[in-house]
């Protein structure tokens, strides 16, 4: 009976552990995403309002995904193909890592890629207030500058989309910036996002739009963990069946006694 309980416990542990982490992503290594990035600047002049629009486009290739890190991260390569309304003649790729955005975790608001292309597909709806974010700017003429910001965020969900809105209040009397984003609920990829800012009578909006998303084909190495899990599950299931069909100790003792008496 003890062996049977241990086998059942092992099977439960095998399949319950990934779910308990409660962080999932629809990304795969080899996925390629193309984003358009538009900067719209508007300000007043003696001759009326002036508006400038800068259109940029770049591709992001997913190189790795690590959901078990303290801050889930994505390794990526980024290639700018259009910059400030002009096609880049010789685009080159740069590689880096960025965090997967979780609006409930203040450490994920500062990512290396400069915006929020990925979120978790199982992120819960709700809201959070008063998150503190600090950013140190180095190399300025005045030395290192520590910037403090406060964030209020909310998350909504539907079967197809995840909506994440948040405001960032910087120190001083500057108005807060507002961020409105929509992610695909299956992949966790940003579909559309806008950041609205207003500083010194200048309105500047940053808009990200997903142009295309191509799923990559995972290599055989990517499938090894799933293969090992499958093999382990089969072994444990066979052990449970064997233990379940094996006669108990009392039944085996009775059978031995019958065999002796039959002689």
DSSP 214-225: E-----HHHHHH
Q: Taking all residues of the chain, what is their mean pLDDT, rounded to a whole number?
A: 81
Q: What is the pLDDT of residue 170?
A: 76
pLDDT at 183: 98
Higher local confidence (pLDDT), 126 or 170: 126
3-state helix, strand, coil in the chain (%, to 5): 25, 50, 25
Least confident span in 61-65, 118-122, 234-238: 234-238
Q: Which pLDDT value is given to residue 240?
A: 56
Asked whether residue 136 carries a pLDDT value surpassing 70, the answer given is no
Which of 54 and 145 is assigned the larger pLDDT? 54
> What's the pLDDT tens digit per position in 212-242?
999 987 554 444 444 444 545 554 455 555 5
Residue-level pLDDT at 139? 59
Predicted local confidence at residue 255, as pLDDT: 65
For the chain, give the number of residues.
Answer: 263
- Distance between the two ends of the chain, CA-based, in angstroms? 31
Half-sphere exposure of 18 (CA within 13 A, CB side): 10
> What was the pLDDT predicted at 176?
86
> Judging by beta carbons within 10 Å of its beta carbon (0-12, 13-18, 19+), is residue 224 exposed, middle or buried?
exposed
The pLDDT of 200-218, averaged and rounded, is 90
- d(CA 128, CA 106) in angstroms, rounded, equals 10
Q: Could you tell me where the DSSP H helices lie in the chain?
A: 2-21, 220-245, 249-262
- 120 has a pLDDT exceeding 80: yes
Mean pLDDT lowest among 57-66, 134-143, 192-201? 134-143
């Amino acid at each position: 009976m003890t062996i049977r309980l241990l086998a059942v416990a092992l099977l439960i542990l095998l399949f319950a552990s990934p779910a308990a982490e409660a962080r999932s992503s629809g990304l795969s290594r080899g996925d390629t995403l193309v984003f358009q990035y538009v900067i719209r600047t508007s300000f007043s002049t003696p001759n009326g309002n002036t508006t400038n629009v800068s259109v940029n486009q770049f591709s992001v290739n997913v190189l790795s995904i690590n959901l078990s890190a303290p801050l889930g991260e994505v390794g990526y390569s980024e290639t700018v193909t259009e910059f400030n309304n002009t096609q880049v003649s010789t685009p080159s790729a740069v590689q880096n890592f960025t965090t997967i955005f979780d609006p409930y975790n203040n450490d994920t608001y500062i990512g290396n890629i400069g915006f929020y292309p990925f979120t978790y597909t199982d992120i819960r709806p709700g809201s959070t207030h008063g998150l503190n974010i600090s950013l140190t700017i180095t190399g300025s003429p005045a030395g290192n500058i520590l910037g403090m910001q406060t964030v209020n965020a909310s998350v909504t969900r539907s079967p197809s989309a995840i909506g994440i809105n948040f405001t960032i209040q910087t120190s001083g009397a500057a108005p807060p910036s507002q961020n409105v984003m929509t992610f695909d609920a299956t992949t966790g990829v940003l579909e559309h996002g806008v950041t609205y800012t207003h500083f010194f009578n200048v309105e500047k909006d940053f808009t990200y739009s997903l142009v295309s998303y191509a799923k990559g084909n995972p290599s055989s190495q990517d499938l090894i963990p799933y293969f090992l899990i499958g093999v382990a599950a089969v072994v444990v299931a066979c052990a449970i069946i064997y233990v379940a069909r094996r006669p108990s100790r009392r039944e085996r003792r009775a059978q031995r006694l019958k065999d002796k008496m039959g002689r």
